[in-house]
């Protein structure tokens, strides 16, 4: 039995031209991911530089396609990087 969960860490770092409206649309985007069962974790960085979220996806290509639909990416408000993360849980 293969119980490997494919998780992808999406780092969203704000660009100088960050648009507040994109941030609001990003929240709706995340809500849609929750509805689809694709979002594991999310949150902003306390220094205001951006944030990150953890996606469930079949592969890196799919995770990238999902993340590139994020309004933060579409508007150029943030630079997104996507990494497969073999996270380990201890609780």
The per-residue pLDDT for 51 is: 98
Q: What's the Cα-to-Cα distance from 33 to each of 1, 26, 36, 41, rounded to whole Å?
A: 27, 11, 5, 11
Strand ranges (E), the chain = 7-14, 39-44, 50-56, 78-85
Q: How confident is the model at residue 5 (pLDDT cuts 50, 70, 90)?
A: low
For residue 26, list its beta bridge partners: none
pLDDT digits (tens, 9 = 90+) for 14-65: 999 999 999 999 999 999 999 999 999 999 999 999 999 999 999 999 999 9
Q: Dihedral, CA atoms, 44, 45, 48, 53, nearest 10 degrees?
A: -40
- Predicted structure pTM score: 0.90
Q: How confident is the model at residue 91 (pLDDT cuts 50, 70, 90)?
A: confident
Query: Distance between CA 1 and CA 7 in Å, rounded?
Result: 18
The per-residue pLDDT for 14 is: 97
The per-residue pLDDT for 67 is: 98
């Amino acid at each position: 039995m293969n119980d490997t969960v494919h998780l992808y860490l999406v780092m969203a770092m704000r660009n100088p031209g960050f648009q507040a409206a994109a941030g609001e649309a990003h929240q709706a985007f995340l809500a849609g991911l929750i509805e689809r069962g694709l979002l594991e974790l999310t949150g902003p960085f306390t220094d205001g530089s951006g944030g990150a979220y953890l996606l469930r996806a079949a592969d890196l290509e799919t995770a990238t396609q999902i993340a590139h639909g994020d309004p933060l990416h579409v508007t150029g408000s943030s630079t997104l990087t996507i990494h497969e993360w073999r996270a380990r849980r201890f609780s």
